[in-house]
Structure 1
């Protein structure tokens, strides 16, 4: 009866250990699958703009998870080896229990045979002396006591082994419970880390989207400004061309007028000299008038020379303005290309270009006004 209970108890322990060993592997596989799903989800939400930071966090997480995976596998191997050792010990104990059960059965048969022999001896020795019967009975009792003591010693040894086995089982269960609690804590920490990583990735994605939208709006506004500047520059170029054409025609007319005036003044001065020479003894009033006319002719010639010099200066100014216009065109093209790379510096370049353009037009207008004023002052 005792051996049957012991066998049943050990069978239950064996089934429990098998169940633990079977549940360790699926839980590990499930953790790995959850880890891989979380990592795939985090990777699907990744942004190219922040690859360095995300790759570093993923590497740290992978290293931590690899170490954790190796520790769990090592613990699983140790648990399996311990289970195999305990199974082997339980197998030896079961064999010993079976041996003791057979020995007990053999002793029970021997006891039954002895009882039958005693019964026969009692029946046979009823007619014999009482002394011989007592001696035989005493011998049989001594043999029974010896067998009973041996059996009791074996049972005590078996009970001691059972206590040790129970102690090992309790320690193993406590270790497994602590390991399971550590695994649960690790899973909780992993889930928290994955949630924080996911939140960070989502925040970075939103920030990148916002910056991209702002950049797109800024680029559109800069394109519109560039288009308006190009249109204004084209209009200014047309105005400059028209102004240059008018200025060239006016310069040509002025040159021809000055040349004709110079010729007519030269002819007049020669005629006046001839007249003054032909009338040497006429009254003094005619001489003074002729001298005044000669002085006026000299002044006119000096004025003509000044006008020619002003004309040359105006032509040089026109050439300089054309060079500035070409440089402004190159600067505008370079500015347009540079604005696509740097938006802040583009506004400064636009302001500088506008000031240069205004200065050039102011200089041109000042030169034209100066020339016009000189023409107006000269009769």
Structure 2
């Protein structure tokens, strides 16, 4: 039941008791009026104070204060006019909803039984006591039955509150774990971004600077320094894009096909390695209609593969193929370098980061290499 339904029931019971006393030929109009005022005061006490303390999972001090004052008002009304004892049908429910079951049973039983000796003390005769006993027994049974029902509702509320608290705690734990997982994923992503952009750019700058340092021809030195400056500018652009959480700078000004060509041209000019670029019609001449996230993964994979060629392969030529077959994009990078054993444990972050990035995008990254036969890196994204 909703709270307003309980309020309506309590009001109806109290109103019925007051109306019954008004038309009853009891101890007199004055006594009925005073007793009615006490019943009304008990109902007002509920609305003004007690309402906030019932149906609670934890019994506060205020609930005991409410029950104590309610019991005093009820007994005072019953002392003046015994008809007011019928209001216990409302007060008993309030008591069971306010305090635990055992003390509630004791309090309601006391309030039901006390009117019998109170009647004897007030009238000094047993003439009315004999008539009250059956009604008192019936009222006690009904009050305990109703109290058991109300206590069951309170226990259900306690269980529901415990379940809600447990669910809230579980949600908080899930949110915490999700946050930690998100932080770890973002750290891994940033580590891959830094490795694929800034670290590779600095490696190129160091290589070009060492080549310029060992060169004796002024024109060669000048050309290498020009390449150092160009690579530094590109690295700066990548750093700014990374800080702004944007896609690679190469993709801002042109499509993926042009970005692939620029990567190969840069490799050829800096290392002298022969390069070949094969783009199908989806990437040449214009940009392919691919999500930016997939283009970023493809470009980063190409950069990592070319960095490995530059640093480890000792290759003389590199061939890159980019094709769109149906809904699958395939990037293939093949070199004629020294190769390596793919089953051997690696010490670098590059290939592991490439595979992780591709797998997070729902793709597959394969590396085919053997000592002395070169290396082929293949990335497939759908």
| TM-score over 0.5 (shorter chain) | no
Which structure has more RCO (C-alpha within 8 Å, separation ≥ 6)?
A: 1
**Higher helix proportion, which one?**
1
What is the TM-score of this pair, normalised by structure 1? 0.35
